[in-house]
Amino acid sequence: MSIDKSLYTEQIVVGLDIGTTKICAIVGKRNEFGKINILGVGKSHSDGVSRGVVVNIEKTVQAIREAVTEAEKHSGIKIEVVHVGIAGEHVRSMQHKGIITLSHPDFEIVPDDVNRLHEDMFKIATQPGTEIIHVLPQEYTVDSQAGIIDPVGMSGVRLEGNFHIVTGQTTAANNIYKCVVRAGLEVEELILEPLASSAAVLTEEEKEAGVCLVDIGGGTTDIAVFENNIIRHTAVIPFGGNIVTEDIKHGFKVMKKHAELLKQQYGSALADAVTEDVIISIPGPRDRPAKEIHRSMLAQVIQSRMEEILEFVLAEIKNSGYEDKLVAGIVVTGGGAQLAHMKQCVEYVTGIDTRIGLPGEHLASGLVDEVNFPMFATGTGLVIMGLSGTDHAPARTSSRRDATTVFQQRGGSSRSGPKISFIDKVKTWFESTLTNTGEFIE
Ligand SMILES: Nc1ncnc2c1ncn2[C@@H]1O[C@H](COP(=O)(O)OP(=O)(O)OP(=O)(O)O)[C@@H](O)[C@H]1O
Ligand SMILES: [Mg+2]
C-alpha cells in the first residue's frame, strides 16, 4: 500500500469511546479554517463493559474492531492511533496545591517553570492501585497575587498552582490499553469521559458563566463542573440508563429487549408530562398472553429511578461548592438525555435551568448529522480534545505507548466512499417505530 506522505502532517484524530452499551470510533480533522470535520463514524454493541469498566477483554476487543472497521470504511482512513475515554466508579478527583520557588526573581516566569509545577503533581501520592489520569491546572498565584490563569511572563519569587487531579484504578486503565492494543491500535492518550463530553457540548460562555455537564450513559452518569473557564469538579456516578431498563424489565415482567423498546419509544422521565395514557401491548414469551402496560405507569417507574440518579447528581453539585454559581445551569447529554422530558425532569429534581447538549455544536461540516446525538458526546469530544493538543493538559504521557500519529489513506477507498452508515439504520428504525398512540411492540 502506498502512503501519501502529505497525510503525515494532516492532523487527523480518532476518538474511541468504550461505553457500557456501545463502542464508537469517530474520525475527525481540522479543516483549513480550524473547524472540525467529521470524516467517519463506526459503532458496535458493547457487551464486555460494565458501568464504564472493561470486564471482558475478548468481547471488548471484538467490539472495538467492529467499530473501528466501520469507521475506516466510512472515512477511508486507516486507523492506527486512538484517543480513548475512561470513566467508571473508580475515578476520583481531588484538588491539590503545588508551590515552586523561582531562583531568578528579576526574570519572567517561563513555560518551563509552569511545566515543572505541573510535573510535580504527578509525583503526589495516590491511593495504592491507582494512578493519575489528568492534572488540570486551575489558577496560579504569583507571590501574593492570586487568580492568575497564565503566569508566564510575570515576575515573582514564588509560583503556586491549584490543580484538579483525576485518578483512576491502574487495572481499569491497563485493561483499556490491553483491549485497544489487542485490537491492533495504539493509545495516544486516555481522557476522562466527562471532560470529553464537555468539550463536545459546552460553549465557552457556559464554562465561563458556571455550568454543570451531566452525561447520562448506560452504566454511569458523568459530571463536570466549570466556572470561570476552570474545571472545578468531576465525578462519575455508577448508574445510568441501564438501571432504568432493568426497573422496567422487573417492574412489568417483560424481556429486556422489550423493556428497552418501551423506554425509548413510550418512556418519559416525567409522569405528569404523559397526557395521553396509551395502553401498550407487549407480546408474552412463548405462547403466554400479551401484557398490557399503561404509559403513565411506565413513566412513573422511569421517573422514580431517574429522580434517584439525579439526586446523586445534585449531591455532587452541592459537594462541588458551585451549586449557587451555575449561572449557565446544567447541560445534560449522553444517551440518557434522549429520554423524553429529560430536561424537565432534571429541572424538577435539581431546580436548576437545564438544556440538552448535542455534540454537533462545535462541528463545522462533514458528517455532523450522523454524530449529532447526545450518545455521541463523548466520542466527538475525544476528537475535539485530541485535536486541541496539549490545551487540556493530558496527564498520561504513558511509557506504555510509543505513539506516532500516522494515518494512511486506505488504498482504493476514498472519503466519499461507501456510505454504510449505522445512523441510516437508526433513522430507519426510528421512522419505522410507532411514534404516538402505537399499541404494539413486536
Ligand atoms: N431514545 C432514548 N430514550 C431513552 N433512553 C435512551 C434513548 N436512546 C438511548 N437511551 C439510553 O441511553 C443509554 C446509553 O447511552 P450512551 O450511549 O451514552 O451510553 P454508553 O456510553 O454506552 O455508556 P456509559 O457512558 O455509561 O459507559 C442506554 O441506557 C439507553 O437505554
Ligand atoms: Mg458514555
CA distances from 152 to 110, 142, 193, 230, 336 (A): 5, 10, 29, 17, 42
Average pLDDT over residues 350-356: 97
- Distance, CA of 162 to CA of 118 (rounded, Å): 10
For residue 220 and ligand 1, the question of a CB distance below 6 A is answered with yes
pLDDT at 160: 95
Average pLDDT over residues 437-442: 47
Confidence band (pLDDT; 50, 70, 90) for 283? Answer: confident
- Distance, CA of 198 to CA of 342 (rounded, Å): 18
Domain boundaries, the chain: 92-168
Nearest to 43 by CA among 75, 65, 14: 65
Average pLDDT over residues 185-197: 95
**Better pLDDT: 152 or 409:** 152
- Distance, CA of 234 to CA of 138 (rounded, Å): 13
The pLDDT tens digits of the residues spanning 90-115 come to 999 999 999 999 877 677 899 999 99
- Distance, CA of 29 to CA of 240 (rounded, Å): 31
pLDDT at 410: 31
Residue-wise DSSP of 67-102: HHHHHHHHHTEE--EEEEEE-STT-EEEEEEEEEE-
pLDDT at 123: 92
Which ligand 1 atom minimizes the distance to the CA of 17?
A: 21
Nearest to 289 by CA among 256, 257, 253: 253
For residue 76 and ligand 1, the question of a CB distance below 6 A is answered with no
- Distance, CA of 327 to CA of 322 (rounded, Å): 10
The pLDDT tens digits of the residues spanning 230-255 come to 999 999 999 999 999 999 999 999 99
pLDDT at 105: 62
341 — phi, psi (to 5°)? 60, 30
User: What 3-state class would DSSP assign to 338?
Assistant: helix
CA distances from 252 to 135, 294, 297 (A): 46, 10, 10
Nearest to 34 by CA among 389, 425, 392, 434: 389
For residue 218 and ligand 1, the question of a CB distance below 6 A is answered with yes
The pLDDT tens digits of the residues spanning 104-157 come to 767 789 999 999 999 999 999 999 999 999 999 999 999 989 999 999 999 999
pLDDT at 437 over 90: no
User: What 3-state class would DSSP assign to 185?
Assistant: coil
For residue 98 and ligand 1, the question of a CB distance below 6 A is answered with no
Lowest mean pLDDT among 117-126, 174-183, 192-201, 284-293: 284-293
Q: Which residues contact 42 (CB under 8 A, 6 or more apart)?
A: 24, 25, 66, 67, 68, 69, 70, 71, 72, 73, 74, 422
pLDDT at 80 over 60: yes
Which ligand 1 atom minimizes the distance to the CA of 216?
A: 18
Tell me which ligand sits closest to the C-alpha of residue 247: 1
User: What 3-state class would DSSP assign to 46?
Assistant: coil
| Vertex 66 angle, CA 429 and 261, to 5° | 30
Mean pLDDT of the chain: 85
For residue 357 and ligand 1, the question of a CB distance below 6 A is answered with no
pLDDT at 428 over 50: no
- DSSP letter (8 states) at residue 289: P
pLDDT at 429: 34
Confidence band (pLDDT; 50, 70, 90) for 361? Answer: confident
For residue 338 and ligand 1, the question of a CB distance below 6 A is answered with yes
For residue 52 and ligand 1, the question of a CB distance below 6 A is answered with yes
Which ligand 1 atom minimizes the distance to the CA of 222?
A: 25
Average pLDDT over residues 271-281: 88
Burial 6-21, CB ≥16 within 10 A → b, else e: eeeeeebbbbbbbbbb
Whether 60 contacts 18, CB under 8 Å: yes
Confidence band (pLDDT; 50, 70, 90) for 322? Answer: very high
Confidence band (pLDDT; 50, 70, 90) for 380? Answer: very high
The pLDDT tens digits of the residues spanning 26-79 come to 999 988 777 789 999 999 999 999 999 999 999 999 999 999 999 999 999 999
pLDDT at 366: 66
Topology given in CATH for the domain delimited by 92-168: Dna Ligase; domain 1 (3.30.1490)
Tell me which ligand sits closest to the C-alpha of residue 60: 1
CA distances from 359 to 36, 341, 362, 426 (A): 12, 19, 7, 17
Lowest mean pLDDT among 76-80, 100-104, 201-205, 293-297: 100-104
Lowest mean pLDDT among 76-90, 324-338, 377-391, 393-407: 393-407
For residue 387 and ligand 1, the question of a CB distance below 6 A is answered with no
Q: Which residue matches cell numbers 510509543?
A: 402
Whether 211 contacts 172, CB under 8 Å: no
Q: Which of 338, 343, 380, 427 to mutate to test the pocket of ligand 1 (most atoms within 8 A of CB)?
A: 338
From ligand 2's centre to the CA of 438, what distance in Å? 30
Lowest mean pLDDT among 31-40, 271-280, 394-403: 394-403
Q: Which of 49, 332, 375 to mutate to test the pocket of ligand 1 (most atoms within 8 A of CB)?
A: 375
For residue 240 and ligand 1, the question of a CB distance below 6 A is answered with yes
pLDDT at 266 over 80: yes
Lowest mean pLDDT among 19-23, 178-182, 281-285: 281-285
Show the cell assigned to 383: 476528537
pLDDT at 412: 27
pLDDT at 107: 77
- Distance, CA of 97 to CA of 84 (rounded, Å): 28
- Distance, CA of 146 to CA of 310 (rounded, Å): 35
